[in-house]
Amino acid sequence: MFDSGLGGLTVLDAAMRRLPEVPFVYYGDNAHTPYGVRDAEDIYALTCQGVERLWREGCDLVIIACNTASAVAVKRMQERWVPEDKRVLGVFVPLIEALTERQWGDSSPPREVAVKHVALFATPATVSSRAFQRELAYRAIGVDVEAQPCGGVVDAIEQGDIILAEALVRSHVEALKRRMPRPEAAILGCTHYPLLEHVFAEALGPDVAVYSQPRLVADSLADYLARRPEMLGSGTATKFLTTGTPRAVSDHATHFLRRGISFEAA
């Protein structure tokens, strides 16, 4: 599982609970976080480096648990770069499948869905990529998406300043609601944001369904591995790798997930 920093730990935690018998290797590119303010070529190059490192660990299947990297890099990687015996999957599709109530692998034409007005909260790079809208268009028609770039939220979370992060979330929700006063659903399009899901929900109001990724991705991964057990890889132990300073990242991660996590140098 790959992420630009600590946000992917929310997905990893859900996946480990859903698949307790499966060993995972987590790679956090903490030396270069956040990705949300980087250009597309930089994001692509860094993501490829991280995936190659996970392949060397025996991970034939890599989940890109970073929405920015999923939005900017995954499609290009899948089309031009990933070998036939490897798989690289992003985190957008399970979210969209839940929103549109389509089963995994449903390749039927796009159709009308119940939800018509969707708020998307994501990093500036994810928003500018329009990847969410593109993937949604493959599955649904007639859905209005209003995207809000949430600058500063990832940095505040990574630095442990939750008070600032909560204030920024409220500000971003207010900004979106000025453009879309009555969204029916909200997508938390960054794996850091589940830590603040209650703040998003409170600011949006009780009538807005909030879609968050960890459980949805974990369920989708369990389904995928049930059908493709050969993609489990050869690893036998869970480990955590970082491009940052292992001790500092371990401390932040422990605070982030509220349980002990020990990273080693990637």
Instruction: Report, as residue numbers or ranges, the catalytic residues.
Output: 66, 190
76 with 105, same domain?
A: no
Of 189, 212, 235, the domain-final residue: 212
User: Domain check: are 197 and 114 in the same one?
Assistant: yes
End position of a domain, from candidates 171, 191, 212: 212
Please give the pLDDT value at position 174. 98
Q: pLDDT exceeding 70 applies to what percent of the chain?
A: 99
Rounded-to-integer distance, Cα 53 and Cα 42, Å: 17
User: Looking at residue 201, what is its pLDDT?
Assistant: 97
Residues 188 and 222 in one domain: no
Count the residues in the chain.
266
Q: Domain holding 131: CATH number?
A: 3.40.50.1860
**For residue 191, is pLDDT > 80?**
yes
Distance CA(180)–CA(55), nearest Å, equals: 43
Q: Residue 151: what pLDDT?
A: 92
Order across the sheet with 117-122: list the strands. 144-149, 117-122, 185-189, 209-211
Domain count, the chain: 2
Both 13 and 114 in a single domain? no
Q: What is the mean pLDDT of the segment spanning 222-247?
A: 91
75: number of Cβ within 10 Å: 16
Question: Do 240 and 140 belong together in one domain?
Answer: no
Averaging pLDDT over each range in 129-143, 170-184, 185-199, which range is the top one?
170-184
223 with 188, same domain? Answer: no
Q: Which of 14, 1, 5 is nearest to 190 (CA)?
A: 5
Give residue-wise pLDDT tens across range 33-45. 889 889 999 999 9
